[in-house]
Amino acid sequence: MSVHGRSAPGEDGHRLLLHRSEVERVTRLSGWVREGLAGGEKVVYVEGDTGVGRGVLSTLSAQGIDVGSAIGDGVLEVLSPDEFYRPGGQEALLDRVLAEGYPSLRISGEASSAYGVLTPAAHREIEDLMDRLCATRPVSALCQYAVPAIPGVAALNDLVGLHPAGLTELTLDTRGGDDGLVLRGAVDFTNVDFLRAGLVAAMSAADAGGSLRVDLSEVEHLSASACRAIAQDCGPFRTSGPRLLLWGVRPVVARVMRLCRLEGHGVEIVERAR
């Protein structure tokens, strides 16, 4: 995750959806699709094994989205992996959507849909391409990964680093930006690894000797395990790289941080006004 993870031209940028269950996936996906439809964007979903359109359309319909009208009006479309992942398919799709008069494009799909048609190396190249497109053209992507299928901490860190605009999961949302990293939600033992991966990637990309500002003004809860992750796992990056400025911290969260002795040694806590 780069601290220069741009949210424009594609408003949401290149984002990562991490999910442990179908309920978690559907909750985040349906909200993302609903936002795109409400904003007049074209929404394209890439789906494989369940048969083109059957799985995601029934899922979205169950979440209250008027799938029939969206498909009929052309604002929602489902493509097979063969169509989307063919050479040049991503840029050709974007060109077509813009030629149809849409202001921007939203693309989403499960990473598992790509595995049947791409090698791991080719899939990574597609991730890199989507990052470039999201940074320079009116397109945003929500890449879905099942947490149980991610083979360890190193793979998680790498995956988070591939998505500069941040990650979303059931209770935590992170966003990269030119002024630092923005966190929203709650962090406990269930998602502390995601927080750790986001911080490590952001600190790795920040200027050495400077400061990385982490906006915590919308974080409602930060557990002791999260404080330990910041103190221990991000320590090497603070030693050789930027200081960590935890900004806009709610008093109740700041109290936990100080009880865990998080302040000092390259970490500064700035409470938000009561």
Supply the DSSP symbol for 171: S
2 domain residue, yes or no? no
Helices assigned H by DSSP within the chain: 22-38, 54-62, 67-73, 81-84, 89-99, 111-115, 120-136, 153-161, 192-205, 224-228, 235-240, 251-259
Residue 165 lies in a domain: no
Residues 222, 131: one domain? no
Q: Which residues pair with 17 in a beta bridge?
A: 144, 168
Residue 16 φ then ψ, to 5°? -115, 125
- Note the pLDDT of residue 205: 78
Q: What are phi and psi of 151, to 5 degrees?
A: -85, 65
Examine residue 3 and state whether it is found in any structural domain, yes or no.
no
CATH for 46: 3.40.50.300
Residues near 83 by beta carbon (within 8 Å), at least 6 away in sequence = 89
Whether the predicted pLDDT of 175 surpasses 80: yes
Question: pLDDT at position 240, please?
Answer: 64
What integer best gives the mean pLDDT of the chain? 87
Instruction: Clarify whether residues 15 and 151 are in a common domain.
Output: yes
Q: Read off the tokens for 174.
A: 């992170």
Residue 120: is its pLDDT beyond 60?
yes
Domain count, the chain: 2
Cβ burial of 51 (10 Å; 0-12, 13-18, 19+) is: exposed
**Would you say residue 130 has pLDDT above 60?**
yes
CATH number at residue 254: 3.30.750.24
Q: Which among 261, 9, 39, 19 has a CA at the least distance from the CA of 135?
A: 9
Asked if residue 269 belongs to a domain, the reply is: yes
Q: Are residues 147 and 176 in the same domain?
A: no
pLDDT digits (tens, 9 = 90+) for 27-41: 999 999 999 999 999
Same domain, 201 and 130: no
Instruction: Give me the mean pLDDT over the 262-273 stretch.
Output: 84
Domain boundaries, position 246: 171-274
Confidence (pLDDT) at 237: 61
Contact status, residue 201 vs residue 157, Cβ threshold 8 Å: yes
Residue 162 lies in a domain: no
